[in-house]
Every structure is written in structure tokens, then in C-alpha cells.
Amino acid sequence: MTSILGRDTARPITPHSILVAQLQKTLRMAEESNIPLEILTYLRQGLELAAGLDPYLDDCTTPESTALTALAQKTSIEDWSKRFSDGETVRQLEQEMLSGHLEGQTLKMFVHLTKAKRILEVGMFTGYSALAMAEALPADGRLIACEVDSYVAEFAQTCFQESPHGDKIVVEVAPALETLHKLAAAQESFDLIFIDADKKEYVEYFQIILDSHLLAADGLICVDNTLLQGQVYLPSEQRTANGEAIAQFNRIVAADSRVEQVLLPIRDGITLIRRLV
């Protein structure tokens, strides 16, 4: 855990939180060196400006529900490394994968604004974003969540039972591509689709969604992690495989004449995509 302005935070995984952590380290090093006072002052002011942003955004955003708070807390205390080493999860998971308060309320707002009744979530983890969006659905609304890991699917469903909105969520446990093809074959259509699964498959998700018309007319696609810790705009040699995959995804979306899009610097980047034709 790290600390920003006296608040404990998870490991920094967004461009902004990584920047804050680097500024904190730089300031500590500067304070131990023979650095001119003017430079130290600028560093302190820069850190204060950067470190205050995320807490302020949280403070000015509608509080999460008690069910979402409980889900986030349960996720944070779970020993994910042990679950993986014991073979209970199919991949290494960590609490930082949870969408969190600001992004959850952002997605919830999108559901309200679009008046969505059918939502598809590609990649669920412990269900924070799914439950946040379900809270904005009407009573007859439905959210289908794709999750490859049966352990986290069960974890999430247990949390959903604590919310009056949990019964709006249906969890499909299978690889995301398999579920997408199944839904496309059944001619399903969704008003809002949230993508937050295997980064190397983002391009395939996008192409299947558009080619099969899984996205309803005037529907909205929200894609998570499209800044990927800032790797997408750093030199290519500094990118991981996931960083390169997201950079490629961003290029492909930007070049696709069927859609228009905007990339928002919320958390690790959220891209909103609207079909034109």
C-alpha cells in the first residue's frame, strides 16, 4: 500500500498515481541531497498539486452504495496470491483490478444517461463495475457479465446477493470470446457494452461487437485501461505486451470509419465509442 495525502491507496497502476509515486520518491531523494531550496519548493508544490487530484475527485463524486463498499473491502482483504498458488484461480489476480469508486460512479452515470436496459460486461473480476451499473438499471433491466474465472464469478455472485440490484446480473463463466460468439449467434443486442478483459483480445472484442451487431443502434461501448499506465504514449520500447496491445487497439479504433470515440483520462483511461453506421 502507498499513501497519498494521508490516505492509504492500492499499488499505483494509473498514469496519474504512478506520477504521484515518482514525485514522492524524487522529493525524498531531493530532501536528502544538496538541492537548492527553490527546486525543493517547486517539487513540493508539484507533488501537492498532483497528489490532491484523486482524493478530491472521490470527495466530489456521489458516494458508492453500502453494497459496493462491502464488495470493495472484501476484494481488498482477499489473499489473491494464495488463491492462485493453490490453483483456485486461473490467473494471478490482485485487488487493483477492481474498478473503484470514481469509475464505478462514472459507469453508473453512463447507464442513466443512455437509459440502457441491456448491458454486456466483458471481464467482470469481483463484480464492482457490474453492480455499479446494475444499480442504474430499471427493474426489468439485465446485465450479462463475462468472466473466465469460476472462483471470482462465485465471489462476485456472493456479493451480488447482498444488494437489491444483484438479481439483475447474469454471469457467464467462459472465455470472453466464446461468450461473445455465443451471444452473437443468438442475435443478442446491448445498449451499453463495457470491455475490461484480456488486453491482447481487445481488438477481437471490438471487431466481433461491430461485425455481429451486438451493439444496438445508438449504443455505447466503454473500454477500460486504454491509457494502460501511460504505456500507450511512451516510447514503444517501454511497453509491455499488454501496453502494445492497447496502443494497437487505440490506433485501430481511431482509424475505423464506422465509429467515433473519445478517450477520457479517468483512472487508467476509459474510451467511449459510438457507432456511426
Q: What pLDDT band is residue 11 in, cutting at 50, 70 and 90?
A: confident
Q: Which residues contact 147 (CB under 8 A, 6 or more apart)?
A: 123, 124, 125, 153, 156, 171, 172, 173
Among 232, 114, 243, 121, which residue's Cα sits nearest to residue 170?
A: 121
pLDDT tens track for 54-100:
999 999 999 999 999 999 999 999 999 999 999 999 999 999 999 99
Instruction: For the sheet with 169-173, list strands across it.
Output: 169-173, 142-147, 118-122, 190-195, 215-224, 270-275, 259-264
Helix (H) or strand (E) holding 248: helix 241-255
What confidence category does residue 139 fall into, taking pLDDT thresholds of 50, 70 and 90? Answer: very high
Residue-wise pLDDT tens digits, 19-64: 999 999 999 999 999 899 999 999 999 999 999 999 999 999 999 9
Report pTM.
0.93
Q: Where are the domains of the chain?
A: 2-59, 66-275
- The type of residue at 100 is G
* pLDDT, tens digit (0-9, with 9 covering 90-100), for 149-173: 999 999 999 999 999 999 999 999 9
* CATH architecture, domain defined by 66-275: 3-Layer(aba) Sandwich (3.40)
